[in-house]
Amino acid sequence: MKKCLVIVSFLLLSYSASSQVLISLLLGDVLNTDKIEFGLDGGVNFANIANLETSKSLPLFNLGFYFDIKIKNQLMLHTGVLVKSTQGADKLNPYSLNDPGLDEEFADGYVTRKINQFSVPIMLKYRFAERFHVEAGPMLALRSTGNDLFTNTVIDKGDLTYKLDIKDNYKRIDAGIMAGAGLKLYKKIQKSAQLGVRYYYGLVDPLKDNQGDKQNFTSWYVYFSFPIGANEPEDKTK
């Protein structure tokens, strides 16, 4: 147990997402037991920010690792870290960059907002009918970077861009509620990949000193996850 805690602590403190995923692959055999399922979790999320004019959902990729910890019978605790996790919105109206030249160039363009985070779901997960499950609980996130990408077209579509660092406009911590449902793809539950959908609704206004309508992150997740190094439970009758 002590060895596992050291490994998990190291994973949480690692800065590079690619390094974390590589370590997860190498340590799958150590972290998987008959009480814990460990693996990789990733997919596409469709992010948006409430109360922003003209905003549209922004499709994004996410990747991380997960733990399904058995509590009792079919009840589990689902947690882990999405080390590549982004919130944001697309097709926002351009705003002033305090530069007349840039303002003119992007006046009829649009802005794509991306707020990069490390996200930690903590959900109760209930499995029924053998392969299906539902889950719900809080999710916390730590903001790492944030950018607005101004885009316009001069000759070819989207050939004029300007990136503005906006991370200091957003709070370091975000928190909200996540719920979802999914299923194991194969009958051998311990070794089976799973597919599902989740919805996240932020309870915190992530914008610092917001004088307008309250904002919050929302996102639909379509995810695929599979255990790393999972083995069949030992037959105790042998």
Question: What CATH number is attached to the domain comprising 166?
Answer: 2.40.160.20
How many domains is the chain partitioned into structurally? Answer: 1
Q: Is residue 181 part of a domain?
A: yes
User: What's the N-to-C CA distance of the chain in angstroms?
Assistant: 26
Question: Closest Cα partner for 141 from 121, 113, 123, 168?
Answer: 121
pLDDT at 6: 38
Block residue for tokens 């316009």:
152
Task: Give strand ranges (E) for 28-172.
Answer: 36-49, 58-72, 75-92, 110-128, 132-152, 160-165
Amino acid at 17: A
The Cα-based distances of 17 to 118, 134, 166, 211, 232 in angstroms read 9, 28, 21, 35, 29
In 3D space, the residue among 58, 61, 62, 124 whose CA is nearest the CA of residue 91 turns out to be: 58
Is 233 contained in some domain? no
Residue 234 lies inside a defined structural domain of this protein: no
- 37 part of a folded domain: yes
* Nearest-angstrom CA–CA distance, 87 and 95: 20
**Number of continuous H segments (helices) and E segments (strands) in the chain:** 4, 9
What is the C-alpha to C-alpha distance for residues 219 and 101, in angstroms, rounded to an integer? 35
Q: How many CB atoms lie within 10 A of CB 100?
A: 9
Q: Which residues pair with 147 in a beta bridge?
A: 114, 165
Please give the chain's pLDDT, 238 residues, in tens. Answer: 444 443 444 344 444 444 445 444 545 456 677 888 999 999 999 999 998 888 899 999 999 999 999 999 899 999 999 999 999 999 999 999 999 999 999 999 999 999 999 999 999 999 998 899 999 999 999 999 999 999 999 989 889 999 999 999 999 999 999 999 999 998 777 778 999 999 999 999 999 999 889 999 999 999 999 898 765 544 444 4
pTM recorded for the entire structure: 0.83
Asked if 173 and 143 count as a contact pair (C-beta separation under 8 A), the reply is yes
* Residue 99 β-bridge partners: none
As given in the structure block, the two tokens for residue 102 are 């840039």
Domain that holds residue 79: 2-227
Does a structural domain hold residue 237? Answer: no
Is residue 108 in a domain? Answer: yes
**For the purposes of burial, counting CB atoms within 10 Å of the CB of 75, is it exposed (0-12), middle (13-18) or buried (19 or more)?**
exposed
Evaluate whether residue 136 is within a structural domain.
yes
Give dist(CA 216, CA 186) in Å, integer: 37
- 34 lies in some domain: yes
Torsion angle, alpha carbons of 23, 196, 49, 58, to 10: 80
